[in-house]
């Protein structure tokens, strides 16, 4: 009898699942949307890398090139979660599954283009935080850990970009008019 009471007490202390476990299709769709967001951010990064000019061209282009390379790795890792049953597919195959990225407004007149890129990171960081909560609710610890890693990557890229923007603004102020 005591063992039955202990078992009953253990069951009572377990956290009940808040929602039904997600279907594999729902998880794949979540990652497809995320892949679309990563692609949009990569395109913004590559656009800025291609059109950047100015006195600090080498340093600025280095930051954009580094971020584009990091985003390539991130996209490949997200793509691998879109369809784990098809590991031999190429990145292009996975990209074709992704929904088109949401249109992003062009940079505001008078703003720095790198602010436009930073806004993309900030929006994606917010979405990643929401996904961590969603995967926690679904009790998908592996996906939750992966999204946490992605969040760390985007926060690091965002911090690097913020530092670059601050340096550019200081340099702009220091230059005589």
Give the model confidence (pLDDT) of 56-105 as tens digits.
566 777 888 899 999 999 998 998 887 664 455 555 665 555 555 555 55
The total number of residues shown for the chain amounts to: 177
Sign (positive/negative) of CA torsion 7, 9, 14, 16?
positive
Q: What residue ranges do the domains of the chain occupy?
A: 21-103+113-174
Distance CA 68, CA 41 (A): 9
Does 41 have pLDDT greater than 60? Answer: yes
The confidence score (pLDDT) of residue 110 equals 39
State the fold for domain 21-103+113-174. Answer: Ferritin (1.20.1260)
Say if residue 16's pLDDT is above 60: no
Instruction: Output the pTM of the full model.
Output: 0.72
- Residue 45 burial (10 A CB sphere; 0-12, 13-18, 19+): buried
Q: Is the pLDDT at 113 greater than 70, yes or no?
A: no
pLDDT digits (tens, 9 = 90+) for 117-144: 888 899 999 999 999 999 999 889 999 9
| Number of Cβ atoms within 10 Å of the Cβ of 170 | 10
- Average pLDDT, stretch 12-22? 58
User: How far is it, in rounded angstroms, from Cα 134 to Cα 84?
Assistant: 20
Shortest CA distance to 95 belongs to which of 134, 25, 43? 43
Most confident residue range from 21-25, 38-42, 147-151: 147-151
In terms of Cα–Cα distance, which of 70, 67, 97 is closest to 81? 97
Q: Rounded CA gap, 7 and 104, in Å?
A: 54
Instruction: Give percent helix, percent strand, percent coil of the chain, each to the nearest 5.
Output: 75, 0, 25
User: Whose structure tokens read 């720095």?
Assistant: 112
């Amino acid at each position: 009898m005591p063992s039955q009471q202990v078992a009953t007490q253990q069951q009572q202390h377990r956290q009940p699942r808040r929602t039904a476990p997600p279907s594999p299709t729902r998880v794949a769709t979540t990652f497809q949307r995320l892949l679309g967001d990563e692609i949009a951010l990569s395109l913004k990064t590559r656009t800025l890398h291609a059109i950047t000019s100015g006195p600090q061209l080498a340093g600025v282009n280095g930051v954009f090139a580094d971020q584009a390379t990091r985003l390539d790795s991130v996209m490949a890792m997200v793509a691998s979660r879109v369809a784990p049953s098809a590991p031999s597919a190429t990145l292009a195959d996975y990209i074709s599954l992704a929904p088109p990225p949401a249109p992003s407004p062009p940079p505001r007149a008078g703003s720095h283009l790198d602010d436009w890129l930073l806004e993309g990171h900030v929006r994606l960081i917010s979405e990643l935080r929401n996904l961590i909560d969603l995967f926690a609710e679904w009790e998908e610890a592996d996906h939750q850990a992966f999204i946490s890693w992605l969040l760390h990557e985007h926060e690091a890229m965002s911090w690097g970009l913020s530092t670059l923007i601050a340096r550019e603004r200081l340099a702009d102020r220091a230059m005589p008019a």
